[in-house]
Structure 1
Amino acid sequence: MEIALFQIDAFTGHAFGGNPAAVCPLPYFLQDDIMQAIARENNLSETAYVVPTAQGEADFDLRWFTPTVEVDLCGHATLAAAKVIFSHIRPDLEVIRFSTRSGLLTVTRDGDMLAMDFPMVTPQEVTPPESLTHAFDHPPDTVLAGLRDLLIVFPEQRVIETLAPDMAALCKAAPWGFICTAPGSDGETDFVTRCFYPNHGIHEDPVTGSAYCVAAPYWAARLGKRAMKARQLSARGGDLWLEVGSERLIIKGQALEVMRGSLMLPHIA
């Protein structure tokens, strides 16, 4: 079996920035263990699989795999999947509707960007797990919890830039991800983040679209703004434009195709 394979740099306008995701368009989903093995082979933070939907309100079914697990929601690989569909599969579309574990997600063309309509979770302040206090050199101001991630708020951007968390301590703190955030300092960026997912096989994720489903409502309330710009301060870096609604979040970003090829699976007919 020969599978088309694309690599897309998401949330960036230049090659080798943002977050790379692999995208595999398929006629049908393969067995879970095979899709997991492909994601492990790709060794990127996410591999997305898209299958045309036979009927219903969606255009495509979409699933996401890290090198170790299937996840319920992924932003950058959704952006990447939409880029591949708009460019190679359905260039006639202006809006793509994806059926996913997190419900119906849409991606719309928006100039040189793509705009994703995502669910939003207002985080609630919690008492941080004891092991979390040993994971960072700097104590956080506040720790809040979303559905699956902790939002860890620090006082200023320079703290985010220099974070070197103890991954073993993070693994003990919670089974979720860790979104570290602070106000932006350049006068243009409203807030900055770095995201760590050691329990999902990803020590630091370059740009994490789903993290803003938790971070954006927090900063919208704190800053009194509905439209914001965020930057993820990983080594590769990435930029996101956010519009916070009453229940949904629009996440805008650029995406760039950097690789195209085929994956050969000789043992699958």
Structure 2
Amino acid sequence: MKQIRVYHIDAFTQYPFEGNPAGLVPDASDLTLTQMQQIANELNLPESAFLLPPTNPEADFRVRYFTPKEEINFCGHATVGAAWLLATEYGWAEKADQVVFETNVGLIPVHWDKSENKINMVTMTQISPKVKEIELDQSEIAHLLGIPPDQLDDQVPIKLANTGNWHLIVPVKTHQAIDAAKPNWDELALLNKKHNISTTHLFTFDAKPGFNLYTRDFAPAIGILEDPVTGAANGAMAGYLVLEGILSKDETHRLTIGQGDAIGRPGTLFVNIIPRGSDIVIKVGGFAHVTLEGILRLPV
């Protein structure tokens, strides 16, 4: 019997049962891709991450991400969860200030914020952001998301944005409208598949006190109806905000983003947007909580 250590980590929160749950296998070196997909399906969490020996000498681990349905190129909350686990349970923070993950989209360094031998937060640097146009009518988007058309913020463009995966970024006027959204799941999944979109990401500046933005994320095309608190989509959205001129390209921005309230899994993301010459650096940080640890038994 092959025994595989598996963790369930709640990311972008300090508490169990909040934030975004991720599965994590810290040693997947003996697993096939089929077995990784089967384990992700069995765990049935939004995403699961599997750590492997790196192929790039600049990386500490290679990581592969799976939803219950398919492999995806990048997952922010599972990356945060993996770095948190390595720091707090495996002693990595005692010998380094960061860990570097080799992913399908490139190298993702994750820095540990430490004080008095305690991990305060982990922060990942995502790949350079980019945006592109998508031909969609606002009434069509409103129908797909199940919100009134007049609640879409027509002062801000609907675009595709990417810091690892493509996300459909949809501006909404109020957090109440975001919470009330009732997506047409099958139609939204078809749209996302047609345009190679991982998730549809709603955002508003009408956030609760202490937060700059409030967001909600739907991903039926990749096997997740709603992703509770999304590191990848919020990173892509941050890049979109600057590339579209909604936030200044000439200054550093520090954003506190809330997500997950609508489904009872509140989480908090801390996002830094840093101009660097012609590039923009997106850093997404947060906490995590190791909620479950167990042994998965597989036949040899």
> Would you say same fold, with TM above 0.5?
yes
State which drifts further: 82-91 or 35-44. Answer: 82-91
Deviation of 1:155 (Å): 1.4
Question: Could you give the per-residue CA deviations for residues 91-121 of structure 1, whole angstroms, max 9, x where no partner exists?
Answer: 3232101111011101111141111111242
- 1:138 aligns with 148
Identify unmatched segments of 5+ residues in structure 2: 115-119
- 1:161 aligns with 179
- 1:71 aligns with 72
Deviation of 1:201 (Å): 0.6
- 1:207 aligns with 229
Question: Could you give the per-residue CA deviations for residues 138-165 of structure 1, whole angstroms, max 9, x where no partner exists?
Answer: 2223311124211011112221121111
The answer on 1:127 being equivalent to 2:135 is yes
**Counterpart Cα distance in 2 of 1:104 and 1:122:** 17
1:105-116 alignment, distance < 5 Å: 105-111=108-114, 112-116=120-124
1:152 partner amino acid? V
- Secondary structure of the residue aligned to 1:85 is helix
Instruction: Count matched residues.
Output: 267
**Counterpart Cα distance in 2 of 1:61 and 1:159:** 39
Q: Match for 1:230 among 257, 263, 283?
A: 257
Deviation of 1:255 (Å): 0.5
Structure 1 residues 77 and 261, CA gap change in structure 2 (3 angstroms): same
2:210 partner amino acid? E
- Secondary structure of the residue aligned to 1:134 is helix
Question: Could you give the per-residue CA deviations for residues 247-268 of structure 1, whole angstroms, max 9, x where no partner exists?
Answer: 3211110001111111100x22
- 2:272 aligns with 243
Q: Match for 1:198 among 190, 195, 220?
A: 220
CA RMSD after TM alignment: 1.9
The answer on 1:253 being equivalent to 2:289 is no
Q: What is the TM-score with the length of structure 2 in the denominator?
A: 0.83
Deviation of 1:29 (Å): 5.1
State which drifts further: 190-199 or 225-234. Answer: 225-234
Question: Could you give the per-residue CA deviations for residues 219-262 of structure 1, whole angstroms, max 9, x where no partner exists?
Answer: 34424461111111342021001111233211110001111111
Q: What is the TM-score with the length of structure 1 in the denominator?
A: 0.92
Q: What fraction of aligned residue pairs are identical, expressed as a percent?
A: 30
Deviation of 1:131 (Å): 4.7
**Counterpart Cα distance in 2 of 1:195 and 1:54:** 32
**Counterpart Cα distance in 2 of 1:29 and 1:144:** 40
Runs ≥4 residues deviating over 6 A: none
**Counterpart Cα distance in 1 of 2:233 and 2:4:** 30
Structure 1 residues 27 and 12, CA gap change in structure 2 (3 angstroms): closer
1:16 partner amino acid? F
Question: Could you give the per-residue CA deviations for residues 29-62 of structure 1, whole angstroms, max 9, x where no partner exists?
Answer: 5211111000000000111101233761111111
Identify unmatched segments of 5+ residues in structure 1: none
**Counterpart Cα distance in 1 of 2:142 and 2:19:** 29
